[in-house]
Amino acid sequence: MTISTPDLCDEHGDDVRVLELSLKHYGAIHHFGGEVVTIKCFEDNSLVAEQVKQPGDGRVLVVDGGASPRRSLLGDNLAGAAVKNGWSGIIIYGYLRDVEEIAPMSLGVLALGSVPRKTDKRNEGQLNVPLHFGGITIAPGDFAYADETGVIFTEKALVS
On whether the CB atoms of residues 102 and 80 are closer than 8 A, the answer is no
Q: How far apart are the first and last CA of the chain?
A: 9
pLDDT tens column, 125-152: 999 999 999 999 999 999 999 999 999 9
120 band by pLDDT with thresholds 50, 70 and 90: confident
User: What backbone phi and psi angles, to 5 degrees, belong to 79?
Assistant: -65, -40
On whether the CB atoms of residues 44 and 124 are closer than 8 A, the answer is yes
Q: Which residues touch 156 (CB under 8 Å, ≥6 apart)? A: 15, 143
Domain regions of the chain by residue span: 5-154
pLDDT tens column, 31-68: 999 999 999 999 999 999 999 999 999 999 999 999 99
Q: Which residues touch 101 (CB under 8 Å, ≥6 apart)? A: 75, 76, 79
CATH topology of domain 5-154: Glucose Oxidase; domain 1 (3.50.30)
pTM of model > 0.75: yes
pLDDT tens column, 5-38: 999 999 999 999 999 999 999 999 999 999 999 9
Residue 1: predicted pLDDT? 64
